[in-house]
Amino acid sequence: MKLAVDVRRHAYDDLLVLSDVSFTVADGEVVCIVGPSGCGKSTLLGIVGGLVRPTDGTVATEGALRPGTLNPVTFVFQDFALLPWRSVRDNVGFPLEHHRLSSADREARVSDALARTGLADFAGALPKQLSGGMRQRVGIARALAVEPALLLLDEPLSALDAQTRELLMDDFGRLWMGAGITALYVTHNLDEALRLADRIVVLSRRPGRIKDIVSVGIDRPDRTAVAAAPRLAVLRERLWSLIRDEAASADREMARA
Amino acid sequence: MTASRSRQVGRFAWRVGVLLLGLALAGGAHAEKLTVGVLKLASSGPVFLAQDLGYFREAGLEVEFKFFEAAQPVAVATVSGDLDVGVTGVTAGFYNLAGKGALKIIAAQAREEPGYRLVAVVASRKADEAGLKRLEDLPGHAAAVTQVGSTFHYSLGLLAERHGFDIGKVRVVPMQSVPNVVSAVKGSQVEAAILPATAATPLVNAGEARLLAWADETPWQVAVVFTSPKMIGTRRDALERFVAAYRRGTEAFREAFLAKAPDGRLVPGPQADRDLAIIARYTGQSAESVRGSIPYVDPQARLLVGDIHRQVRWYQGQKLVDPGVDPRGVLDLSFVPGHLDVPN
Amino acid sequence: MPEGQALQPERRPVAFRGGGFLPRTSRAVGAIGFAVVLLAWQGALAAGWISPVFLPSPVEVALALRDLAASGELWRHLSISLYRIVLGWSFGTAAGLGVGSAMALFSLARSLGMPMISALFPIPKIALLPLLILWLGIGETSKVATIGLGVFFPTAIATYSGIDNVSRTLIRMAQSFGIPFGAIVCKVALPGALPSILSGMRISASIALLLVVSAEMIGAESGIGAFVLSAGNLMQTDQLVAGVAVLSVLGLLVGAALSAAEKALLSWR
């Protein structure tokens, strides 16, 4: 599914948050959005997902949906957003409950999502019994169960430790990248963006504007290889130089506020 | 207990202090202090008169009033030693306390007496329209009282005996306070109610209730003067002087308000207006409303002893007073000569 | 640094300074404490330190309770009071849940409800008794209404603040999956507010027990509250304390039931 984002202006009361943010995402492409704290990354994702009404702007998708797709545009949240009173299985099944599905179909979708995310043995557990990484796997399983066409990931790894992050990035590659699912991925972690993205949209500090759009241009599987390291370092340096001053002044601005 | 004991110690020390001060100032002659619990009702008139006309002072007493909203706390405060003397109506709760040897009745205050209207039985408008016209129709209906075991409850019991209906068949509904009873009658929530004249008369005059009967047909002892056995043991002299001065008050009360012409009309005494003003001042009511609620008080403060016995037995029959309570044990007849209707 | 050389002369052990702030409850200690109080009470009366006029002995109270139970009076009073409590509490809770939810979900209800609750909650319900009698009579309605009114406010406040404190992310998550409004309320907002609602219920159940005495001031011939009131009026102190003991046992039972409910319903926390 293709995505066209055209947010001319977005403001809370008098505070301008986003200005002239226009870009497109191709079918099956992974686009990361990076930028300093408070630049409106998450707001932008909310607008794309239809949870925030933009002051002035439009978001459109284009392309045929697979027949099994129940929720074309699906979120994965930073703090997992699991219902703490439901078991893993019931959390994954939650978005299916208001769809007309046979109970066999529903169970098949849940079991399949649990199996793919390695959660089959934890189906009866409550979220409080799981580690952070396992909780985010539940969040991903829940997103996969509705067979999304566009995934909106809002800093999905930032609540996790570095090792867990590595493991989940591997899972991402295996679970949905290259499976024809388009993704818009918000992060403040440049290494994460360089590891996962086809293109990286760099936003300025508030009001968020597009400073640059950087193509990574290395095959995803090759990026963990030692040979790719120098090229990635150059890209990282370029991203950092785009962000550094913004991040520094955003930091001071936050401190004053 | 320890609190009240320390209060007693405190009061004792205070008394000694007052005594010493009195001795210093007056060189020997001092007024003995008595704390008296009363309700702000016209029926407390005799004590107010005895105070205001100086009878207590002349008896060498310095009487301090403590005012209460209901009879029960007066009895409790007398038991605890916060009051030396109480002057209020007698209830089943009073007899239960007195039956434990904590209180003694020593003189009379208000009583029901034919021709002096203190308590009324009224029917609500709805019940009146539905045919509740006579006292005899009460069985099968609900009658509101302030509390179970109150003087109003006993009034109803006496009326039942006299009119030959079964009080067991009347649903006696306790409403806790006179305003609540009035509310229930106004809204026709109950079919009947027993109310003091001050509350019943406005209801009847406004057409919100119908008078079924005045409860003045059978004379009975509504209110008394009482003290604790400990007071009798330790301060008998002060109590005797109190009763003597109180009886001057009851005599003044009779002269002012209770005399009747041969045709049965009440004839105000020469000091009626002055005494009415005194009582109005103490009760915080208008002279008019005091005049409307003047009860009969025996001029010599003599008790209807037989009725006290009958009350205890009646309450015991209603299971409101413990069966072990002996009416003789709650009375001390030695303070007033010539009590009335004394059983053998 | 060479081991133990520089350290040796001034070697000081680091004293433990953590611990504490972890009080535990022991049922045995509670029971023993209760027994000691009862024994001291009985002893003080037996020794004559306390006059029986002021306080009945535990034995007298127990005998009064036994007589009440044997004559069937206890059950008669208790059953009618329980009926009133259960009915009043259910109505108050249902209304409180409804109004509290509405206030948490809708701007109009919130704008209207907040000032009203602030204005009406602190009114002592007993002060309204004469009015309640006029409006609702002296039958069961006014008694149930008194209890219901007392239960309504804390439930509404607990529900409101409970839903208000449900994580916004959970609501956004449900919306992002296209879950309809009603299902979000039932499946996300209300379960999320359950801890707050249950602790509100703890308060409202105690209030219902407190108010049964007030409610039974209005023309009640039976009921545990009416029984306590009439024992007070009649100065039958053994009966009075027996009735109060029944009320406090009732309070303990309700507390235990709510703890069990919390354990069962909130195990996910």
What SS3 class is residue B206? Answer: coil
Contact with chain A for residue C264, Cβ under 8 A: no
Radius of gyration of chain C (CA): 26
Residue B23: pLDDT above 60?
Answer: no
Cβ–Cβ below 8 Å for C177 and A94? yes
Q: How far apart are CA C247 and CA C212, in angstroms?
A: 10
Q: In the predicted model, what is the mean pLDDT of residues A126-154? A: 94
The CATH fold of domain C57-265:
MetI-like fold (1.10.3720)
- Per-chain mean pLDDT for chain B: 89
What are the structure tokens assigned to B222, written together?
């509504």
Q: How confident is the model at residue B19 (pLDDT cuts 50, 70, 90)?
A: low
Q: How confident is the model at residue A123 (pLDDT cuts 50, 70, 90)?
A: very high
Q: A105, A180, A168, A106: which is closest to A138 by C-alpha? A: A168
- Among A124-133, B271-280, C120-129, name the one with the lowest average pLDDT: C120-129
Q: In the predicted model, what is the mean pLDDT of residues A86-108? A: 94
The distance of Cα A94 from the centroid of its chain, to the nearest Å, equals: 20
Q: B33, B38, B61: which is closest to B244 by C-alpha? A: B61
Using CA of residue B275, residue B281, residue B283, residue B284, what is the dihedral sign? positive
pLDDT score for B14: 64
Q: How far apart are CA B85 and CA B106, in angstroms?
A: 10
pLDDT score for B6: 61
Residue with tokens 């002269």: B255
pLDDT score for C258: 92
Cα–Cα distances (Å) from C90 to C116, C138, C148, in that order, read: 22, 20, 7
Distance of residue A82 Cα from the nearest chain C Cα, in angstroms:
7
**Best residue in B1, B152, B186 to probe C by mutation, most C CBs within 10 Å?**
B1
Strands A182-186, A30-34: pairing kind = parallel
What are the structure tokens assigned to A114, written together?
């649990």
Q: How far apart are CA A21 and CA A57, in angstroms?
A: 9
Distance of residue C206 Cα from the nearest chain B Cα, in angstroms:
23
Residues B131 and B209 in one domain: yes
Q: Which residue of B has its CA nearest to C236?
A: B96
Contact with chain A for residue C183, Cβ under 8 A: yes
Cα–Cα distances (Å) from B209 to B118, B145, B296, in that order, read: 17, 15, 25
Chain A neighbors (3+ CB pairs < 8 Å): C
Cβ–Cβ below 8 Å for B72 and C235? yes
Chain C neighbors (3+ CB pairs < 8 Å): A, B
Residue with tokens 């697979």: A66
Residue B67 belongs to some domain of the structure: yes
Q: A177, A179, A210: which is closest to A33 by C-alpha? A: A210
Residues B261 and B139 in one domain: no
Beta bridge mates, A200: A32, A214
H or E segment to which residue A23 belongs: strand A15-25
What are the structure tokens assigned to A57, written together?
């702007």
Q: In the predicted model, what is the mean pLDDT of residues A20-26? A: 94
Q: In this complex, which of A79, A85, A146 lies closest to C177 when CB atoms are compared?
A: A146
Residue B16: pLDDT above 90?
Answer: no
- Among A230-239, B65-74, B147-156, C19-28, name the one with the lowest average pLDDT: C19-28
Q: C184, C149, C177: which is closest to C163 by C-alpha? A: C184
Residue B198: pLDDT above 90?
Answer: no
Chain C neighbors of B172, CB-CB under 8 A? 221
Q: In the predicted model, what is the mean pLDDT of residues A159-171? A: 90
Q: How far apart are CA C154 and CA C97, in angstroms?
A: 10
Cβ–Cβ below 8 Å for C183 and A97? yes
Residue B186 belongs to some domain of the structure: yes
Q: In the predicted model, what is the mean pLDDT of residues B126-149? A: 92
Please, what is the Cα angle at A72 between A70 and A77, to 5 degrees? 105
Cα–Cα distances (Å) from A77 to A82, A89, A143, C21, in that order, read: 9, 18, 10, 36
Domains of chain A, by residue range, sit at: 2-256
Q: How confident is the model at residue B26 (pLDDT cuts 50, 70, 90)?
A: very low
Proportion of chain A above pLDDT 70, given as a percent: 98
For B170-193, how does the pLDDT look when each residue is reduced to its tens digit (9 = 90+)? Answer: 999 998 888 889 988 988 889 999
Cβ–Cβ below 8 Å for B76 and C137? no
pLDDT score for A45: 94
Residues B281 and B184 in one domain: no
Cβ–Cβ below 8 Å for C179 and A79? no
Contact with chain C for residue A90, Cβ under 8 A: no
CATH number at residue B191: 3.40.190.10
- Per-chain mean pLDDT for chain A: 90
The distance of Cα B35 from the centroid of its chain, to the nearest Å, equals: 17
pLDDT score for B277: 95
pLDDT score for A247: 78
| In A74-155, alpha helices (H) | 88-93, 103-116, 132-145
Residue B276 belongs to some domain of the structure: yes
Distance of residue A211 Cα from the nearest chain C Cα, in angstroms:
29
Tell me which CATH homologous superfamily contains domain A2-256.
P-loop containing nucleotide triphosphate hydrolases (3.40.50.300)
Q: How far apart are CA B88 and CA B317, in angstroms?
A: 23
Q: In the predicted model, what is the mean pLDDT of residues C85-98? A: 96
| In chain C, alpha helices (H) | 27-46, 58-70, 73-105, 107-120, 129-136, 140-164, 168-176, 181-184, 190-215, 224-233, 237-265
Which strands form B110-112's sheet, in the order they lie side by side? B220-221, B110-112, B296-297
Residues B107 and B225 in one domain: yes
Contact with chain A for residue C168, Cβ under 8 A: no
Which strands form B85-89's sheet, in the order they lie side by side? B61-68, B32-39, B85-89, B223-227, B104-108
- Contact at 8 Å (CB) between C225 and C81? yes
Q: How far apart are CA A95 and CA A72, in angstroms?
A: 12
| In B225-269, alpha helices (H) | 229-234, 236-253
Contact with chain A for residue C176, Cβ under 8 A: yes
Cβ–Cβ below 8 Å for C194 and A85? yes
What SS3 class is residue A65? Answer: coil
Chains C and A touch (3+ CB pairs under 8 A): yes
- Contact at 8 Å (CB) between B332 and B104? yes
- Among A93-97, A216-220, B76-80, C6-10, name the one with the lowest average pLDDT: C6-10
What SS3 class is residue A5? Answer: strand
Contact with chain C for residue A126, Cβ under 8 A: yes
ipTM of the complex: 0.91
Last residue of a domain, one of B170, B187, B215: B215
Contact with chain C for residue A77, Cβ under 8 A: yes
Q: How far apart are CA B199 and CA B180, in angstroms?
A: 11
Q: How confident is the model at residue B265 (pLDDT cuts 50, 70, 90)?
A: confident
What are the structure tokens assigned to B81, written together?
């030693």
Beta bridge mates, A154: A186
Q: How far apart are CA B149 and CA A123, in angstroms?
A: 68
Residue C133: pLDDT above 90?
Answer: no
Give the count of domains, chain B: 2
Residue B27: pLDDT above 50?
Answer: no
pLDDT score for B115: 83
Determine the structural domain holding residue B207 and report its residue range.
Answer: 119-215
Q: In the predicted model, what is the mean pLDDT of residues C24-47? A: 90
Residue B340 belongs to some domain of the structure: no
Cβ–Cβ below 8 Å for B180 and C218? yes
What are the structure tokens assigned to B147, written together?
């509390």
Beta bridge mates, C24: none
Residue B309: pLDDT above 60?
Answer: yes
DSSP label at A34? E
Q: How far apart are CA A200 and CA A188, in angstroms?
A: 11
